[in-house]
Chains A and B, each alone.
Chain A
Amino acid sequence: MILKGKVWKFGDNIDTDIIIPAQYLAHTDPRVLSQHCMEPLAPDFAKKVKSGDIIVSGTNFGCGSSREHAPLAITGLGIPLIIAKTFARIFYRNAFNKGLALLEADISDLVEDGDEIEADISQGIIHCKGKEIHAKPIPPFMEELINEGGLINHLKKKLEG
């Protein structure tokens, strides 16, 4: 799958309290959660971001809590992909479980807010600023899980089988 979108750049250690502050965690609806995405750092982000835009970040994106509200707040805005140098491990699993694609690549210094980039999710290839960058490959086990439609579909099949 090839995704094209405009870049929103964030720094290192973007934690889950920034992605979705705890005061909103009694909500489970992604449409409500998404309105507060990144609020402590960028209060206008949810209003300005367009469906299809892509987040680019540095190291340890999604560190902190296990709240699945974090990937939901992001997908609720129509953001299909995050490219970061590294991801925190709970966020990494949660994103896959919630259908949010992640690519591990260090492109933060190459791009600016608003740049148009293109990413081939299945190949892990990113095109930006005339360069081709190869993301760290997705572990084969997780790729299988994605091909099965995610963990919940995998579970559904097990229960039906």
Chain B
Amino acid sequence: MGMTITEKILAAHADKDYVEPGEIVDCRIDLAMANDITAPLSLEEFEKVGAKKVFDPNKVVFVLDHFTPNKDILSAENCKRIREFSIKYGIVNFFEGGQCGIEHALLPEKGLVVAGDVVIGADSHTCTYGALGAFSTGMGSTDITYGMVMGRIWFKVPESIKFHCYGKWQKWITGKELILHILGMIGVDGALYSAMEYTGDAIGTLSMDSRFTIANMAIEAGGKNGIFHVDEKTIAFMKEHATRPYTVYESDGDAKYKQIFEIDVSKVGFTVACPSLPSNAKDAGELGSVDVDQVVIGSCTNGRLEDLEMVAEILKGKKVAKHTRCIIIPATPAIYGEAMRRGYFQIFLDAGCIISPPTCGPCLGGHMGILARGEKAVATTNRNFIGRMGHPESEVYLAGPAVAAATAIKGKIVRPEEVI
């Protein structure tokens, strides 16, 4: 029996020729990552076990991106603690201040993840790196401690679900609309414990940025990982960014899938996920009049250059609606700099947007854009659970960059053609 790309990567890292779904494997890891929220708990466990060193100071990564720039004293204390740990144990990839971006945009950009890797991170959106043909998944702080010390971790080999995507994309439609569409089809536990594998011509025509967006939201279907095959776009991305060699794995023709979905992407419209589940998918055009108090464009899902480019194109020469706040968060310092050089910042400022430093901030209701009782937001982020961005009676609609930008102009949820 053949193996899927996910099974092959896990087998290689467990030094086995063959693995199958359900099997428990003990794998070498290429990277263990934690952030300013999850690392403090990892470090507590690290001290408890009396570890003297990390398995490899090059392969443990800390990114202080959630409550930074520090939102309060406690957050500052947490960051200080991680900084001191990083100095003590010689952690090479410690990111804070002006070097810091949103972890899942930053790590691929820094070339720290390549095709064929096994990466674990104490953040549920660690599944983002599947866009590069790597196996990556989120875990809790204690599992990360084990990985940090041993350089290994146990996995249950997941079953795989294949999403075969074909057809021509409509204008302004991105990976975000596709993944929201898929969540609408299969639900928030539709891929529970499973690998979500993407194939087909329509994936080949997608940018790397859009692929990161799709892989990023595997967790919103309960998935263990999202994964893409390596093609010339992946290789070009790695040539530009990677710091070490990569390994390409391909799914066998007779690999076994739990389910196979055929998706005609020409039928994917401006999907929006209504409160309070990412699977609550509707078309932006069928929502009626939803007044919006805040628009957030950013996050590990949609804070990349392609997203900002689309938003700039739509906002150019337009104004954000009165009484609507539009916060734009370039995900990394490099994206920030490039958006500035390309003139997007002037467009955003002229339109009346707020440009935030890279931070997870409002996505998880941390800081830098919290909602009051009864307020509604459209966000290019990944979750719209009850109270996600602030007050429990506030609401979040998830959308792609084009709908978010158009919504900022109109002050209510609209399709982009209504403002162009």
* A interface residues (Cβ-Cβ under 8 A, vs B): 13, 15, 17-18, 21-23, 25-28, 39-41, 59-60, 63-69, 71-72, 86, 88-90, 93-94, 97-98, 139, 141, 151-152, 155-156, 158-159
Note all chain B residues with C-beta closer than 8 A to A152.
45, 48-49, 142, 145-146
| Residues in chain B near residue A39, CB distance under 8 A | 392
Q: Is B184 an interface residue (CB 8 A)?
A: no
Give every chain B residue within 8 A of A28 (Cβ-Cβ).
40-41, 44
The answer to whether A151 touches B365 (Cβ under 8 A) is: no
| Count of chain B residues with a beta carbon within 8 Å of a chain A beta carbon | 52
**Also in contact, A13 and B24, with CB within 8 A (given A68-B142, A88-B222):** no
- B166 on interface, CB distance cutoff 8 Å: no
Report if B156 contacts A (CB, 8 A): yes
Determine if A41 and B138 form an interchain contact, defined as CB atoms under 8 angstroms apart. no
Could you list 24 examples of A-B contacts with CB < 8 Å? Answer: A13-B188, A15-B383, A17-B388, A26-B75, A28-B40, A28-B41, A40-B387, A41-B386, A59-B189, A65-B364, A66-B123, A66-B124, A66-B138, A66-B141, A68-B141, A90-B139, A98-B140, A139-B156, A141-B154, A151-B146, A155-B145, A155-B146, A159-B49, A159-B149
A60 adjacent to B150 (CB under 8 Å): no
Q: Is the Cβ of B140 less than 8 Å from the Cβ of A68?
A: yes
* Complex Cα gap A58–B49 (Å): 35
Q: Given the known inter-chain contacts A89-B192, A159-B149, please indicate yes or no for A22 contacting B364, CB distance below 8 A.
A: yes
In the assembly, what is the distance between CA of A69 and CA of B141, in Å?
Answer: 9
Q: Hey, which chain B residues are within 8 Å of A93, CB to CB?
A: 139-140, 143
Which single member of A21, A65, A98, A159 contacts B50 (CB below 8 Å)?
A159
Contact A151 B139 (CB under 8 A): no
Q: Are A98 and B75 in contact (CB under 8 A)?
A: no
* Chain B residue at minimum C-beta to C-beta distance from A24: B74
Q: Which residues of A contact B128 (CB under 8 A)?
A: none
Is the Cβ of A141 less than 8 Å from the Cβ of B145?
Answer: no
CA distance A25 to B50 in the complex (A): 25
| B-side contacts of A141, CB under 8 Å | 24, 154
Contact of A64 among B126, B149, B385 (CB under 8 A): B385
Best-buried of B48, B277, B392 by chain A (most CB within 10 Å):
B392
Q: How far is the CA of A55 from the CA of B123 in the complex (A)?
A: 25
Identity of the chain A residue whose Cβ is nearest the Cβ of B224 in the assembled complex = A89
Contacts of B277 in A (CB 8 A): 13
Q: How far is the CA of A59 from the CA of B131 in the complex (A)?
A: 28
Considering the complex, give the chain A residue whose CB is closest to the CB of B392.
A40
Pairwise interchain contact B140-A97, C-beta atoms closer than 8 A: yes
Q: How far is the CA of A70 from the CA of B72 in the complex (A)?
A: 21
Which residues of chain B come closer than 8 Å to A23, judged between CB atoms? 365-366
CB of B356 within 8 A of chain A?
no
- Closest chain-B Cβ to A21's Cβ sits at a distance in Å of 6
Q: How far is the CB of A145 from chain B (nearest CB, A)?
A: 8
- Which of A18, A63, A67 contacts B188, CB < 8 Å? A63
The one of A13, A22, A69, A155 in contact with B149, judged by C-beta atoms closer than 8 angstroms, is: A155
Which residues of chain B have C-beta atoms less than 8 A from A66's C-beta?
Answer: 38, 121-124, 126, 138-141
Known: A26-B72, A26-B78. A88 touches B192 (CB 8 A): yes
Nearest A-chain residue to B73, judged by Cβ: A26
Cβ of B219: which chain A residues have Cβ within 8 Å of it? 64, 90
Q: How far is the CA of A86 from the CA of B189 in the complex (A)?
A: 9
In the bound assembly, the distance between CA atoms of A152 and B66 in angstroms comes to 26
Q: How far is the CA of A76 from the CA of B11 in the complex (A)?
A: 38
Docked Cα-Cα span, A16 to B307, in Å, equals 28
Q: Mark B353-396, 1 if CB is under 8 A from A, else 0.
A: 00000000000111000000000000000010111100010000
Q: How far is the CA of A68 from the CA of B122 in the complex (A)?
A: 9
**B67 at the A/B interface (Cβ < 8 Å)?**
yes
